[in-house]
Amino acid sequence: MPIKIEHDVDLQPYNSFKVKANAQHLVRISSISELQQLISTPIFKENKRFILGGGSNVVFLHDFNGLVIKSDEKKMTVIDENDDDVTLQVASGMVWHDLVMHCLKNNWGGIENLSLIPGSVGAAPIQNIGAYGVEVKEVIVQVDGMMLDTGEERCIKGADCKFSYRESIFKHELKEIFFISSVTLRLTKKKHKINSNYEALKVRLAQLGILNPTIHDVSNTVIEIRQSKLPDPKVIGNAGSFFKNPVVSLNQFEKLKKQWPLIPFYHYDNQSVKIPAGWLIENCEWKGKRIGHVGVHQHQALVIVNYSEASGEEIFMLSEQILSDVEAKFELKLMREVNMID
């Protein structure tokens, strides 16, 4: 059956910021064979392309004059299992939180700290999503997909994905030329490694009187914390955390600490620390501030929100002002976590 390519498609339902923008062309892909059909078409060959996941990490600056490729496959398969762990191959179009909930239902551990992160499974390795002391790279076995320039199917092992903080090979060398069709994860079935040392999570678990948390306790608490701090994109347009937490050397941090004794931090490795971007933004007095249709959320300075009919350009310009103010005050360059799509 030939693939269906749609034209002049409204992208507002496909981005969590609820920004109005149209795609010149859009195609939904449910298999590698459909993708192989697509790359032989004139529309594919003659247009710039953008691979769209769950739309929770993008801002369309204006209409996209090209082809948007969206994964619609949501299949999940157990490909290996023993007494200790289970290996899952998950299609890229599956909603990430649905996967987390399915795993918890089966008492499979490893991604419970990543509960309620918006977006699709295919986007998880691109961003190397992380939260509350865990990154998805810790459970990824491999990422499968196809090279859009050649049609070659490739399997990229987790060790070759060049994972780092919110980074991967898919954001650089393979950006927009590798279509992720599935992600393979290895999770525990027993003897789960409980990651509960992240400060906010540890404090809340203690408040709840949970001294020996299970993976279900961790997930429930993470969901509670996220819902208390982050606005629901179904209610108000946003993409969650808009900026990355800057990682600085120990020497640079000591200089900052002399000027700002109360500056919070987390140890990243033996040579560097991570500074919460939300604290930096809040200390530049952006928290709760609104300019026209856009603003910084009143409860979480990391989150930019679309209050009504904000354009992508308005969101971009607000982020530019925040970046400028943080650099002027702290001599630190923040990086956007959200992708600006031109």
Buried b (16+ CB within 10 A) or exposed e, 43-71: ebeebebbbbbbbbbbbbbeebebbbbbb
Residue of 34, 282, 327, 337 with catalytic role: 337
pLDDT at site 2: 82
Checking if the pLDDT of 263 tops 90, the result is yes
Any idea what DSSP says for residue 13? Answer: G
Residue of 28, 166, 186, 204 with catalytic role: 166
pLDDT in tens, 138-172: 999 999 999 999 999 999 999 999 999 999 999 99
- Taking the complete model, does pTM exceed 0.75, yes or no? yes
pLDDT at site 315: 98
pLDDT at site 120: 96
Active site residue 28: no
Token pair of 227, please? 């819902």
Q: Say how many C-beta atoms besides its own lie within 10 A of residue 75's C-beta.
A: 12
Q: Which domains does the chain have, with CATH numbers?
A: 5-71 (3.30.43.10), 76-188 (3.30.465.10), 199-228 (no CATH), 237-341 (3.90.78.10)
Active site residue 164: no
Checking if the pLDDT of 267 tops 90, the result is no
- The contacts of residue 2 (CB under 8 Å, 6+ apart) are 37
Q: How confident is the model at residue 63 (pLDDT cuts 50, 70, 90)?
A: very high
Q: Is 31 exposed, middle or buried (0-12, 13-18, 19+ CB in 10 A)?
A: middle
Checking if the pLDDT of 328 tops 90, the result is yes
Residue of 182, 219, 241, 319 with catalytic role: 241
Buried b (16+ CB within 10 A) or exposed e, 180-217: bbbbbbbbbeeebeebbebeebeebbeeeeeeebebeb
Active site residue 166: yes
pLDDT at site 264: 94
Checking if the pLDDT of 236 tops 80, the result is yes
